[in-house]
Amino acid sequence: MTASRALLKSAVGAARFRLTGRRAPLAVSLCVTRRCDAMCAYCCTPSTPCEELGTGEVLGLIDLLADRGATRLNFVGGEPLQRRELPDFVRRCRDHGLWTVVETNGHALPERVDELPASRFMVSLDGEEAAHDRLREPGSFRRAVAGIRAARAAGRTVGTVTVLTRYNLDDVPFVLAMGRELGFDATFSVLDVNASKAARRARPDPSALRRTFRYLLEARAEGQPVAMSEKCLRYLLDWPDYDAFRAPSAHEDLTCMAGQVSCAIDADGGVYACVPRLGAEPVGNVRVEGFDAAFARLRDNNCRACVSTACTESSFLYNLNKPAMLEVARVATRRVAPPAMAGAQR
């Protein structure tokens, strides 16, 4: 499925939900493993071991999701490239015509990119080398950049995700410059300071964070590779309290669509309205009762707003917000520059 067709199907599904209340898992975040080869300071992914869904279970789940109307599937972790069968999962998505995104630290991309026919790779990049390695681990910056280069050399579309902390706010221009050089679009996320003690220590000054979002609005207007809609950036800029990552009531004119036309599935089959956080409990489990029964319970999701870039952008998209839809279309259909134009080796 082309990016434009996936976007069209998503819009149709969202319009159907708004008109009739008919829910469908249009976008699904699927954690295929909690294992990871990095130790990120602020990580909020539960690291407790679990009985991962087997290869056959994941393939069957992909078949079912496609049958239920899914248009986009994000493979997440842990580190999804730690799952040996990931190429089988991505190929099954391709067979169904799903728009497929692999969210990765990039470390294993040089060895594995050719076997992963994903629509897009999202690589974590937390600023210049000093900041990135401080937040993740020594050597991880060079490995992430090598992964980006490998994906771009293979002609793949790449985006990056930068979690904004007290250590890297000044590195935002560097990330955008790297994007221009290597040919990727950059997304920036608010840190969930309640995820861990380390996350609270990395909390950025709120006024500095707002200055960063103002800078990103200007950079976007100048045509720099900011993969965020103006609507989303202004939403994040106006968020009242960054220490409160979620809110029980709507913020601005956005209706949260998590649990209505999107959901998340953990490595053990647990079903959530959005990406699981520490302490969150699933509403059900695909291994125990099947996906349909668990997804039906998500109607009662009581979270009405959050400051997650990914969730906010998706909700604007599924609210059929025209500027957000145009931004998603721009990023998804961007022509990939030939490898020779992606930047010379540093």
Number of compact structural domains in the chain: 1
Q: Does residue 189 lie in a domain region?
A: yes
Q: Is there a domain that residue 208 lies in?
A: yes
Task: State the CATH number of the domain containing residue 319.
Answer: 3.20.20.70
- Each of the 346 residues of the chain gets a pLDDT tens digit; together they read 556 677 777 778 878 887 888 889 999 999 999 998 888 877 766 566 789 999 999 999 999 999 999 999 999 998 999 999 999 999 999 999 999 999 999 999 999 999 999 999 999 999 999 999 999 999 999 999 999 999 999 999 999 999 999 999 999 999 999 999 999 999 999 998 887 788 889 999 999 999 999 999 999 999 999 999 898 999 999 999 999 988 888 787 787 888 889 999 999 999 999 887 655 789 999 999 999 999 999 877 777 788 999 888 888 888 777 776 777 666 666 655 544 444 433 3
Bridge partners, residue 247, by sequence: 305
Beta carbons of 156 and 339 less than 8 angstroms apart: no
The answer to whether residue 149 sits within a structural domain is yes
Q: What is the DSSP letter of 48?
A: S
pLDDT, position 330: 67
346 within a domain of the structure (yes/no): no
Measured distance CA(280)–CA(188) in Å, rounded = 24
pLDDT, position 2: 59
Q: Looking at the domain assignment, is residue 57 inside a domain? A: yes
Q: What are phi and psi of 189, to 5 degrees?
A: -125, 150
- Domain residues for the domain of 139 are 3-341
Q: What is the pLDDT of residue 53?
A: 97
> Is 249 within 8 Å of 242 (Cβ atoms)?
no
